[in-house]
Structure 1
Amino acid sequence: MLPPASATAFDTRTRILNLAEELLLARGFNAFSYQHIAKELAVKSAAIHYHYPGKEDLGVAIIRRQLLRLRKWRGLPRVTELTPAQQFEALVDVYHTRAATGQQVCFFGALAAEFQTLPAAMQQELRTLNVELTEWLAGVLAAGRANQTLHFRGHPVSKAAQVLTTLAGALQVARVHDEQQYQRIVAQVRAELLEPS
């Protein structure tokens, strides 16, 4: 028996998003087409256009889903109930998962590399994602400095931007070399934040 049409539509939409995100991280947004997705999923291109009329629509949906993931993750009790230092480590674990599984690059970094060629709507969504992640980490850093478990100079937003840039760059280095290079970079970030100067 066939599943209800709504369930089928949801499944197709999710499969398209999942594959498009994989292709984005592996090749870049501009390096894959609807034909790549259609071939991999064994569907017609029209099926993809039904859910995402243009590639810009697909790109916006990918970023919005990532933003929803961020909002859900940072609101989970297993994250909110942690100390600031533990919240920082939880964030590092997210990046570590990417480094350990297929040497994937950072989601933001993958799109930032192509930023000038992305449609305006995607650029705006990416800015929103980056701002929200940076502001969340800045709050964590500020709380950690207040309770003396995290140590740094300067403004929390500036430090958060530096940390996120370093983590994204560490994933790029791991793709070129290996996970050990990533671990060295992250160890330095930990040492600077977790050890009093």
Structure 2
Amino acid sequence: MKHFAELTPAAERIVDSAEALLQHVGFNGFSYEDIARQVGIKKPSVHHHFPTKIELVLVVTQRYTHRFREQLLHIEGVHPHAVERLKAYAQLFAATFAQDRRICICGMLGAESDGLPEEVRAQVRRFFRVNLDWLETVIAEGQASGELIETPPAASLAALWLSALEGAMLVGRGWTEAHGPAAVAQALLQSWTEPPTFKSRSSLH
């Protein structure tokens, strides 16, 4: 399999096209004919660079995961506190969704998981593992510093945070009045940073 760092300019244009198509229609929704039309080349030229669709999608997801990890490192370097890191993380999803309601590639592929080759499923699992490990660390540090609620455990909150953002994209794609990832993240984070308030019995009468 090619490594994304070794791509020629022509191959990179193919990968860029495949990435955009994956975000809109998923693995089974596009063909090499679609890519050839977008890039402005002949279909055999796509096959020359990527003999199989599996190989192409593996390179796309490999590059996507690497790029996401780079963004996580950037967030760590810019934002010292857990809450700000979570907000910046949510903004990554919001920025993707703002591009014609695009969806996270691995979220899209995850929805198609049962119909995907094992190699692609493994790469999708790797993406989610990278994200969940990073989120768990950030949330655990936020709990230790008192920024975030102490329970549930950091691992559970990490899974909730990622699921909420991925889900906001999917719901937002199908329901135009739905809130996007940024609004969902803001509402969720508010419940993690503010203690619950309880009305007294007398105030209920």
Q: TM-score, structure 2 length as denominator?
A: 0.85
Q: State the secondary structure of the residue aligned to 2:8.
A: helix
Whether the aligned pair in 2 keeps the contact of 1:23 and 1:32 (CA below 8 Å) is yes
Correspondence for 2:186: 187
Whether the aligned pair in 1 keeps the contact of 2:36 and 2:42 (CA below 8 Å) is yes
Q: State the secondary structure of the residue aligned to 2:51.
A: coil
Percentage identity across paired residues of the two chains: 28
Correspondence for 2:31: 33
Correspondence for 1:161: 159
Q: State the secondary structure of the residue aligned to 1:104.
A: coil
Summarize deviations over 1:84-115 as a string: whole Å, max 9, x none.
Answer: 11110110111111232211122222111111
CA distance in 2, matches of 1:20, 1:179: 28
Larger Rg: 2
Summarize deviations over 1:56-82 as a string: whole Å, max 9, x none.
Answer: 001111110011112211222x53341
Whether the aligned pair in 1 keeps the contact of 2:139 and 2:154 (CA below 8 Å) is yes
Correspondence for 2:16: 18
CA-CA distance at 1:154 after TM superposition: 2.1
CA-CA distance at 1:177 after TM superposition: 2.7
CA distance in 1, matches of 2:58, 2:195: 42
Whether the aligned pair in 1 keeps the contact of 2:136 and 2:158 (CA below 8 Å) is yes
CA-CA distance at 1:21 after TM superposition: 0.8
Correspondence for 2:58: 60
Alignment of 1:72-111 (within 5 A): 72-76=70-74, 78-82=75-79, 83-111=81-109
Summarize deviations over 1:13-65 as a string: whole Å, max 9, x none.
Answer: 11111110111111111111111111221212222122211000011111100
CA distance in 2, matches of 1:152, 1:95: 25
For this pair of structures, how many residues does the alignment match? 188
Structure 2: gaps of 5 or more residues: 1-6, 197-205
Summarize deviations over 1:152-178 as a string: whole Å, max 9, x none.
Answer: 512211210111001111111222233
Correspondence for 1:6: none
CA distance in 2, matches of 1:113, 1:188: 25
Matching residue's letter, 1:60? L
Correspondence for 2:68: 70
CA-CA distance at 1:132 after TM superposition: 0.8
Please tell me the root mean square deviation across aligned C-alpha atoms, in Å: 1.7
